[in-house]
Amino acid sequence: MGVSTASPEKGIAVVTVDFPPVNALPVQGWYDLADAVTAAGRDPGVRCVVLTAAGRGFNAGVDIKEIQRDTGHDVLLGANDSCAAAFSAVYDCAVPVVAAVHGHCLGGGIGLAGNADAIVASEDAVFGLPELDRGALGAATHLARLVPQHLMRALYFTSRTATAEELHRHGSVWQVVPREQLKDTAMELAREIAAKDGTLLRLAKAALNGIDPVDVRRSYRFEQGFTFEAALGGVGARVRNTFGPGPRGEAS
């Protein structure tokens, strides 16, 4: 359980998240993920990182139960900071990051996938932000990188999810495949990327980040302020305490 890194092929690092049962990460888990992705990108022998997960789904956001056990705001602040660190690690990784998404990709999962350079998804993958149902806000910055603006708003306000095929039609998912083919498909894309010159890849990643129309770090930080405002006003805890079991019971 936790975050692990493997090097199955020359030039490719695979970072795997495993926090049963639904990959809802505690504060330290987000920091560990940030460290693993950053370290993989700093390795001069790595030219592409594949971000994947074990278990039922790719990611279900933060561990709300960890927040509920805290009598103050320390865990909420920690979740805000650690999520920002993990999302930034993916975006700022020195080499391209391919997200291999299966099952649920919710809350913080959207932050990871939305900041990845490419996404390969299984046919059963669903993407969404159940934040309003869970007493939080955030990651609209990253959902807006996956779907058009008005669809993002409708998904955000309703807490509905979009399928991998729907995102594929919008151009944000590179390929949709059966679950059993997900790993091989992600590795195939990573292999094609890793075949390029390593120095040029790193320059290209920096160049593409530099021309992004939205500063994802500043935009997400702005959103986080409203999450904390909801917490201070009490509405965050009131809504959060109504959540039920399952991956939709988590939020970023």
**pTM metric for this prediction:** 0.94
Q: Kindly state whether residue 192 falls inside one of the protein's structural domains.
A: no
Q: Kindly state whether residue 140 falls inside one of the protein's structural domains.
A: yes
Lowest mean pLDDT segment, chosen from 41-45, 103-107, 242-246: 242-246
Q: Kindly state whether residue 64 falls inside one of the protein's structural domains.
A: yes
Q: Which pLDDT value is given to residue 244?
A: 56
Q: Kindly state whether residue 196 falls inside one of the protein's structural domains.
A: no
Identify the helix (H) or strand (E) that includes residue 235: helix 235-240
Cα 8 from Cα 141, distance rounded (Å): 32
Q: Kindly state whether residue 109 falls inside one of the protein's structural domains.
A: yes
Q: Kindly state whether residue 183 falls inside one of the protein's structural domains.
A: no
Confidence of residue 252 (pLDDT cuts 50, 70, 90): very low
Q: Which residues span the domain enclosing 158?
A: 2-178+205-249
Residue-wise pLDDT for 37-89, tens only, equals 999 999 999 999 999 999 999 999 998 888 788 778 888 888 899 999 999 99
- Report DSSP state, residue 147: S
Residue-wise pLDDT for 18-35, tens only, equals 999 999 999 999 999 999
Q: Kindly state whether residue 187 falls inside one of the protein's structural domains.
A: no
Q: Which pLDDT value is given to residue 129?
A: 97
What are the respective helix, strand and coil percentages of the chain, to the nearest 5? 50, 20, 30
Decide if 249 contacts 134 (C-beta within 8 A). yes
Count: domains in the chain: 1
Confidence of residue 4 (pLDDT cuts 50, 70, 90): very high
Decide if 86 contacts 37 (C-beta within 8 A). yes
Q: Kindly state whether residue 195 falls inside one of the protein's structural domains.
A: no
Q: Which pLDDT value is given to residue 248?
A: 41
User: For position 100, which CATH number holds?
Assistant: 3.90.226.10
Residue-wise pLDDT for 110-131, tens only, equals 999 999 999 999 999 999 999 9
The tokens describing 27, both together, are: 């504060």
Most confident of 63-77, 141-155, 221-235: 141-155
Q: Which pLDDT value is given to residue 136?
A: 85
Residue-wise pLDDT for 150-202, tens only, equals 999 999 999 999 999 999 999 999 999 999 999 999 999 999 999 999 999 99
Confidence of residue 245 (pLDDT cuts 50, 70, 90): very low
